[in-house]
Amino acid sequence: MKNWLKTALTLVWKDLVQEWRSRDMLTAMLSFAVLTLFIFNYAMELNPASRSEAAAGIIWVVIVFAGTLGLNRSFTAEQDQGCFDALVMAVPELSVIYVAKLITNLLVMLFLTVLVIPIYSLLYNQSLFMPMLWLVLLLGAWGYSATGTLIAGMTVQTRMRDLLLPILLFPLLMPVNMAVVKAAGAVLAGSALSGYASWVNLLLVYDIIMTVLSILVFEYVIQE
């Protein structure tokens, strides 16, 4: 068990160091996110009241789309340098590769969120520093990363690669999309927890089911 954990952390460390030294992906994701926020401004010339209601939805959409850039990249090193094989040969159990990638993708998503939210606040003059909001986004990011990591692991091995990821991933993410937008919206509107607790529960259920299922099937993704 301790072994497993140590291996997972080693893999996460490797991914983070790789990304930090190249900074390709993070920069791209951030630029993409900010540009999308600008586009939303022109697409939705709303009065401040309507816009503040739509905030949750806009933020989540931006994160979902920018997140695909991160997911696509999370496996390219392994695929292009053949490191999948090397990892398969070295790790005690194949599921640890999935969990490590899940953690890495989750951290990247959180990093993105941490940057996007203040920028949104700035651009649209709306304060968004509420702890429950962060909980909701964290649960959403977990679900996104859980399903996204599994799917990205597959699409990186196909011909169409990046093109295929959103098509495969987005239908599976619908529960997360609905739950995050509704719960975040409720938080921003100042509702009490009882008002959106069922959404939070749903998110938690989704996260757990998808993570467990992915752990079970992941060996079939990377092993022939």
Q: Is the dihedral of CA 38, 169, 69, 162 positive or negative?
A: negative
- String of contacts with another protein for each residue 6-35, x by CB under 8 A: xx--xx--x--xx--xx-------------
- The answer to the question of residue 209 lying near another protein (CB under 8 A) is yes
CB of 138 to another protein, least distance (A): 18
Packing angle, helices 164-188 and 48-74, rounded to 10:
140
Q: Which of residues 98-157 bind another protein (CB under 8 A)?
A: 147, 150-151, 154-155, 157
Nearer to another protein, 179 or 188 (CB): 179
Q: By rule CB under 8 A, what count of residues binds another protein? A: 57
Q: Is 217 in the site for another protein (CB under 8 A)?
A: yes
Separation CA 121–CA 134 (nearest Å): 14
| Subset of residues 57 to 96 that bind another protein, contact rule: CB under 8 A | 77, 81-83, 85-93
- Which of 104, 116, 206, 215 is in the footprint of another protein by CB under 8 A? 206
Least distance in angstroms from the C-beta of 184 to another protein:
14
